[in-house]
Structure 1
Amino acid sequence: MINKIIAFSIKNKFIVSLFVFALIGAGIHAMMTINLGSVPDITNNQVQVITVSQNLATEDIEQFVTYPVELAMANLPGVEEIRSVSRFGLSVVTIVFKDNMGTYLPRQVVQEKLNEVKNDIPENFGEPFMGPITTGLGEIYQYTIKPKTGYDTVYSPMELRTIQDWIIKRQMALIPGVVEVNSFGGNIKQYEIALDPERLNAMNISISEVFEALENNNINTGGAYIEKNHMASFIRGEGLARSLEDIRNIVVENVDGIPILIRDIASEVYFGSQMRYGAFTQEGREAVGGMVLMLKGENPNSVIKAVKERIAEVQKSLPEGLEIQPFLDRSELIQRTTSTVAKNLIEGSLIVIFVLVLLLGSLRGGLVTATVIPLSLLFAFILMKLTGVWANLMSLGAIDFGIIVDGAVIVVEGTVFEIHKRIKEGRTKFSQTEMDEATYVASSRVMNSAFFGQLIILIVFTPILFLTGIEGKMFQPMAYTFGFAVLGATILSLTYVPMISSITMKPAPTSSWFGREEHRLEKFSEKLMKGISRLYDPVLQLSLKHKLSVLFVAILIFGSAIFSFSRMGGEFIPNLDEGDIAMQAFLRPGSSLSETIKRETEIENIIMENFPEVKTTAARIGVADIPTDPMGFDFTDSFIILEKDKSKWVSASSKEELIEKIREKLAHLPGLNFSFSQPVELRFNELLTGVREDVAVKIYGEDLDV
């Protein structure tokens, strides 16, 4: 079978060439459109159920909201784990499902249960809803609304938050791949009425009557339509309050034909702000920002590109003096990661080409073998695109060019050997028919062993394909990508390499400059291989004479390796340097929001004043508009955005050293503890386990006072 494929490829060069060009075209298209990320998304298959009840204490939230939701979700099919967080005014229940249930089936069964559990939650205790369909890599773009120079005092935090919610957030809707835009920071604007108890008592009006009057007089109504002069006129009653004056003029009660208005019983009607449970600071002052959440499974590179295009359009509609500035852009991490992978792949391929040319003694043979590398990668990109495997650091970084070109090296080396053999037999000129014959003889002689060797390599990676959970999500893309590349190299070694070798490997006349140069290269390669052989032959002979000694040394080395391995430290995967720092500042438990804001601004001012490498700092406190991250008031999530060009650093030479110096600078602040991580790593830890640290202790019991 293998010999027939080789013979067909050599005989039908045009057909094989067409397939190669088709491979190049399809591969380039797949490479340009493939899902591109920084690291594999290892977030488990989870659904968050969120309930907001702003004035409810933690114990009541746990008893009347969290517990009924947990109980209702416990018997759903495919549930692996249920965990929850209950805080003042907030309940977040996370239900983890099996991965094979997909994305939307778990949400469907959860929604069916939510319709039932709503009846078990007391009235006015909040209504549970599901969190957005996103993952640990979903926070792709975070930005702030920043006043330009000279406009620092023009816009208040309330006005900035209103602009975020009513201008920016609404225009960011309908972007393909964006599931939600989360707002944080500032004050949510609301209309407030300060009632005068003495006036209420004097006019014999209760607060419930005021509530009812406000509700009934703040609504638009419809009145069908009337026909007149062959035309239909639609009737509409406008009753929505559109200004403070409208609220002041709302009628509460009519006494003897005299209307009692809101202004008659209120000491003041004014713009106020909703009770807030979170804040956002940047560079030592309060700010307002937003976070773009990507739909699970979407291509982050293309989604971020669409987000940036929309941001540029939204920027034009902002009030004068404001601009949108990103402080955490996931595309930068993707670009740095992919550029690192591309750099390593290019350097690796150049090294392989150099070694091949040097050892084969043939420039053409080395280049023919080297062309298998990009063609195999394009073949892998096509299959990755078809199977939904993402291109990232783990999947592309595992490609071994030495293994990929193994089959091609054997075919080309066999062809060179066959040609030299025939030259020694007296043949000086080779027709195309003779080249086809020589290539077929060489390829058919060596390709059987090469094919089964590559097949064994593919079989070795098969167990990785059956990994499940986090391990499967992390390492399966690597196994698939490597397997696709080796499969492509095997097919090319059977078809493309024999075909192109029969065309390009014809001996060049020594009278030409190319022939002379290749002859010199061949002589140099022969001397190099003879030198290596002279060093290796004595070692081989000595090993064959002292078999037991060699066996003993091998066993000793193996035992030493096992002993050393048992004493080594271990980790799941090496940490990816994201380029930025995520810092958590922990205050005394029970600290107020205003106190945390004050301490966080102190921290940011110290960092910005002492470390020029830091481009900006930003911190989230408490919960955002959609509380997918249920934080308390007594700790912060700070993002320290660093200069990516380390040649411009002056305070430290590495991130580890910079973290230590930041820790030293902040050590004099009383009552604060700090933890350092990275933005994506921090989010992954929280979503996977419910805690952000590497080690967590759970305490169970009935009596909280123990």
Structure 2
Amino acid sequence: MLNKIIEFSIKNKLIIGLFIVALIGYGSYEITKLPIDAVPDITDNQVQVITTVPSLGAPDVERLITFPIEQANSNIPGLKEIRSFSRFGLSLITIVFDDDVDIYWARQQVTERLKLAEEQIPQGLGSPELAPVTTGLGEIYQYIIRAKNGYETKYDATELRTIQDWIVRRQLLGVKGVADVSSFGGKLKQYEVAVDANKLKSYGITINDIFNALEQNNGNTGGAYIEKKSTVLYIRSEGLIKNLDDIKNIVVKNTENGTPLLISNVADVRIGSAVRYGGMTYNDEGEAAGAVVMMLKDGNSSDVIKNVKERITQIEKTLPEGVAIEPFLDRTKMVNNAIGTVARNLMEGALIVIFVLVLFLGNFRAGFLVASVIPLAMLFAVIMMNLFGVSGNLMSLGALDFGLIVDGAVIIVEAVMHSLTQSKKFGQIARINQSEMDIEVIHSASRMMNSAVFGQIIILIVYLPIFSLEGIEGKMFKPMAQTVAFALLGAFILSLTYIPMMSALFLSKKVAHKKNFSDRMMETLENAHQKYLSKILKYPKTIVGSVIVLFFISIFIFSRMGGEFIPSLEEGDFAVETRVLTGSNIAVTEEACLKAAHILLAKFPEVEKVIGKIGSGEIPTDPMPMEAADLMIILKDKSEWTSAHTFPELAEKMGEALQDIPGATYGFQYPVQMRFNELMTGSKQDVSCKIFGENLDTLAKYAQKLGDIVGHTDGAKDIYVESITGLPQVIIQYKRNIMAQYGLNIEDINKVVNTAFAGQSSGQVFEDEKRFDLVVRLAGEKRKELEDVQNLLIPTSQGTQIPLYQVADVEIKESVNQIQRDDAKRRIIVGFNVRGRDVQSIVTELQGKVDKNLKLPTGYFVKYGGSFE
């Protein structure tokens, strides 16, 4: 069969030539369609469910929101695991599916079960929503919106956020391949009715009266139409609130003397902002607004980034004067670094292969003919990569070995050359004609084709175990094996068709051959080989024994080498996990970010800019509390560095410089690496030690002990012990017997408390297409002290108002900060990054220390995750 293909190729050179031209043309086109990224997307196949509940603490969020959703989704076919995160005001549930489950089918199943879960969630406590269809590699473009120099006083944080939400975000959502845009930082504009508690008391009205008045005076309606002769006139009322004056003039009630009591008589009506759970800083200058652009799952990041940049260019023309959009994390940088490394290595490898081929074959034509298989096999591989959905990245393209690709071609070309120069059948003929050349190539190629085929089959067998890998390992390494297999398949086809045809056409037809440098070199090597081989064969036992000894030595060395999943990819920038004391407000975290930025910009010329992302964004897929931030350190090109030569060295020096900031901790990682860790294991660190158990206080106690053990382990850096308790909270505990005396129920009191301090939306105010919530809450000066909560007036059924402290104990207590669960089991994390050691050895050492020094109660256990897992 193979011999017939070779014979056909040589006798039908035009057909094979057209085939090669088609391969070059179509392959070049497919290169433009190949998805390009830095690394394979190893994120689990997952659906995230987000529920925002500003009025509930972590235990109530877990009990009332998280648990029902977990239970409702626990029996979906193809389910792998469920992870959940509950903290004040937020429930985030990550539902992980097997890799072969269609993500849109999975989302449909989750959506159907959310309807069942909502029946168990008390009314008014939030509505569960699905996060965008994106992955760990989905955050492809991040930017800030800030006022240009000279315009700082014109645009405050509220105006910058409004520009982001209603100008920038709306236009970016229309970009092909964008799943969503999560706004970050700034202040969300609201129309605020800040109620004066003293005036409420003096006029004998409640905050609920204010809320009801606003709700009843903000709406349009219609009255069908009236007929006037042969036409109709549609009836439409315009009662929507348009501005602050409209709000001020709304009547709450009429006094005893008939005078209307207006909103403006009891409240300050103004432009305010929503309660903040996140923020953003720019360098050491102050607050900014911004966003994260999320790419659809399985999108082509290069194309999507290109589309986003083009749209940003258009958006910039529509921005108000003095406002700038400035990207700070652009996946293009990481992709270019990775692909640049691959391209450089491939080019160097190709040049080395060509040099070796020419050197050992001793013939320029033969060397370049064999080398031409490299680009042609690459084009074939690209076509197959697109066909099977394999992206071009560091793993897939970096695995190509040109020496393997040209193996079959070398065997055939060398056989043809040897046959021409060493055969005696041509006698004294100096040169053969084309037909004789064709016959000689057919004979030589057919004779050696079996050797070439078996050689390439053996190479492919080496990669077969990789195809059996599943999960994260499969996602990381299968593209490598697939790309090599595609390239070898292409090289095999070319060895059967292209190489014999081109050998017959372009190799020299001269039979006479003078020895050249390559011939003399090969003779020398062959003679040396024969000489030493003959000597070695006299001592078979010694040789076999030496090989066995070397084998066991290599096994011993290998067992002590340690290991890690993959080497860290230098992404070009740092993501620094920043933490301040539990319970700190946004202002404290902002101050820590600004101080860190000031130090980094002053001491390290490598730093281009520093962006602080505090707390959670509008789409809280990364649910950080207010006392946490991701500090994005954007670095200049490595050629411009002066403070250090490597990323670990620079991270070490920066970490030492930031130790001068009191009350804050900083952990250095790369942005995508951090996001991968978080989405795959729920922790941002390289290694996460999870303690599972029931009681939160017990978990916190043993986590501190485990943290101490980690701290005494060489190579463990940026140690983080999750804080799940110790959050100061104002706790209201009702006195039911006294409530009964006043005819009060808990629901009514909860509504007053929630409206007064969290604020309740009584409707919306429209500004053309923009819409903003109309919120009722107590004035800011009455929402600062414990006494403000204790003295909150509660209306009774008798028409009087009493302070809250009469029907409840109001105290400041330490309570639960956050609760995380894996497969419905509570757990706490002790995480750390690894520097100066491999992950395998440090975890092995840590496991030994934990088994020896940490005795957990019955039912409690430790599990190790992160990149180690």
Q: TM-score, normalised by structure 2?
A: 0.78
**Residue of 621, 624, 630 corresponding to 1:628:** 621
Output one character per residue of 1:259-302: Cα deviation in whole Å (capped at 9) or x when no partner.
Answer: 73534532411111111011111202211111100000000000
Question: Offset of 1:249 from its aligned partner?
Answer: 1.9
Residue 566 of structure 2 corresponds to which residue in structure 1?
Answer: 573
Alpha carbons of 1:381 and 1:452: their partners in 2 closer, same or farther (altered >3 Å)? same
Residue 341 of structure 2 corresponds to which residue in structure 1?
Answer: 340
| Within-5 A mapping of 1:59-458 | 59-201=59-201, 203-228=203-228, 230-253=230-253, 260=260, 262-284=262-284, 285-422=286-423, 425-458=427-460
Residue 527 of structure 1 corresponds to which residue in structure 2?
Answer: 520
Q: Secondary structure at the match of 1:461?
A: helix
Amino acid at match of 1:662: M
Q: Is the 8 A contact 1:38 1:338 kept in 2?
A: yes
Residue 558 of structure 1 corresponds to which residue in structure 2?
Answer: 551
Question: Offset of 1:397 from its aligned partner?
Answer: 0.4
Amino acid at match of 1:301: S
Question: Offset of 1:534 from its aligned partner?
Answer: 3.0
- 1:43 matched to 2:35? The reply is no
Q: Secondary structure at the match of 1:696?
A: strand
Q: Aligned partners of 1:195, 1:590: CA distance in 2, in Å?
A: 27
Residue 515 of structure 1 corresponds to which residue in structure 2?
Answer: none
Q: Is the 8 A contact 1:252 1:259 kept in 2?
A: no
Q: Secondary structure at the match of 2:690?
A: coil
- 1:541 matched to 2:543? The reply is no
Q: Secondary structure at the match of 1:641?
A: strand
- Which deviates more from structure 2 when the two are superposed, residues 167-176 or residues 655-664? 655-664
Amino acid at match of 1:54: P
Q: Secondary structure at the match of 1:182?
A: strand
User: What 5-or-longer segments of structure 2 have no aligned partner?
Assistant: 699-869
Residue 640 of structure 2 corresponds to which residue in structure 1?
Answer: 648
| Within-5 A mapping of 1:506-517 | 506-507=508-509
Output one character per residue of 1:291-349: Cα deviation in whole Å (capped at 9) or x when no partner.
Answer: 10000000000000000000000000101011111000001211121121111111111
Q: Aligned partners of 2:552, 2:673: CA distance in 1, in Å?
A: 36
- Which deviates more from structure 2 when the two are superposed, residues 22-31 or residues 247-256? 247-256
Alpha carbons of 1:540 and 1:265: their partners in 2 closer, same or farther (altered >3 Å)? same
Q: Secondary structure at the match of 2:689?
A: coil
Q: Aligned partners of 1:540, 1:14: CA distance in 2, in Å?
A: 47
Residue 477 of structure 1 corresponds to which residue in structure 2?
Answer: 479
Question: Offset of 1:254 from its aligned partner?
Answer: 5.2
Residue 775 of structure 2 corresponds to which residue in structure 1?
Answer: none
Question: Offset of 1:201 from its aligned partner?
Answer: 4.4
Residue 5 of structure 1 corresponds to which residue in structure 2?
Answer: 5
- Which deviates more from structure 2 when the two are superposed, residues 392-401 or residues 205-214? 205-214
Q: Aligned partners of 1:468, 1:581: CA distance in 2, in Å?
A: 30
Residue 740 of structure 2 corresponds to which residue in structure 1?
Answer: none
Q: Aligned partners of 1:643, 1:198: CA distance in 2, in Å?
A: 57
**Residue of 445, 467, 470 corresponding to 2:469:** 467
Alpha carbons of 1:394 and 1:435: their partners in 2 closer, same or farther (altered >3 Å)? same
Q: Is the 8 A contact 2:161 2:188 kept in 1?
A: yes
Q: Is the 8 A contact 1:195 1:265 kept in 2?
A: no
Residue 598 of structure 2 corresponds to which residue in structure 1?
Answer: 605
Amino acid at match of 1:550: I
Q: Secondary structure at the match of 1:616?
A: strand
User: What 5-or-longer segments of structure 1 have no aligned partner?
Assistant: 511-518
Question: Offset of 1:256 from its aligned partner?
Answer: 8.6
Q: Aligned partners of 2:626, 2:205: CA distance in 1, in Å?
A: 39
Structure (1 or 2) with the greater helix fraction: 1
Q: Secondary structure at the match of 2:372?
A: helix
- Which deviates more from structure 2 when the two are superposed, residues 333-342 or residues 295-304? 333-342
Question: Offset of 1:258 from its aligned partner?
Answer: 5.4
Q: Aligned partners of 1:210, 1:439: CA distance in 2, in Å?
A: 96
Q: Is the 8 A contact 2:249 2:264 kept in 1?
A: no
Q: Aligned partners of 1:462, 1:296: CA distance in 2, in Å?
A: 28
Runs of 4+ in 1 over 4 A off after TM superposition: 201-204, 254-259
Amino acid at match of 2:34: I
Q: Aligned partners of 1:364, 1:344: CA distance in 2, in Å?
A: 25
Question: Offset of 1:236 from its aligned partner?
Answer: 2.7
Q: Aligned partners of 1:682, 1:275: CA distance in 2, in Å?
A: 28
Q: Secondary structure at the match of 1:99?
A: coil
Question: Offset of 1:51 from its aligned partner?
Answer: 0.6
Q: Is the 8 A contact 1:144 1:289 kept in 2?
A: yes
Amino acid at match of 2:651: I
Q: Secondary structure at the match of 2:100?
A: helix
Q: Is the 8 A contact 1:226 1:234 kept in 2?
A: yes
Question: Offset of 1:248 from its aligned partner?
Answer: 1.1
Question: Offset of 1:640 from its aligned partner?
Answer: 0.7
Q: Secondary structure at the match of 2:191?
A: strand
Q: Aligned partners of 1:269, 1:130: CA distance in 2, in Å?
A: 35
Structure (1 or 2) with the greater strand fraction: 2
- Which deviates more from structure 2 when the two are superposed, residues 447-456 or residues 363-372? 447-456
Residue 55 of structure 2 corresponds to which residue in structure 1?
Answer: 55
Output one character per residue of 1:367-423: Cα deviation in whole Å (capped at 9) or x when no partner.
Answer: 110110000000000011111111100000001111100000011101111111347
Q: Is the 8 A contact 1:251 1:259 kept in 2?
A: no
Q: Is the 8 A contact 1:183 1:290 kept in 2?
A: yes
- Which deviates more from structure 2 when the two are superposed, residues 321-330 or residues 74-83? 74-83
Question: Offset of 1:196 from its aligned partner?
Answer: 3.4
Q: TM-score, normalised by structure 1?
A: 0.96
Amino acid at match of 2:642: V
Q: Aligned partners of 2:219, 2:351: CA distance in 1, in Å?
A: 72
Question: Offset of 1:203 from its aligned partner?
Answer: 4.6
- 1:596 matched to 2:589? The reply is yes
Q: Secondary structure at the match of 1:83?
A: strand
Q: Is the 8 A contact 2:64 2:121 kept in 1?
A: yes
Alpha carbons of 1:564 and 1:251: their partners in 2 closer, same or farther (altered >3 Å)? same
- 1:585 matched to 2:615? The reply is no
Alpha carbons of 1:257 and 1:30: their partners in 2 closer, same or farther (altered >3 Å)? farther
Question: Offset of 1:695 from its aligned partner?
Answer: 3.0
Q: Secondary structure at the match of 1:698?
A: strand
Residue 860 of structure 2 corresponds to which residue in structure 1?
Answer: none
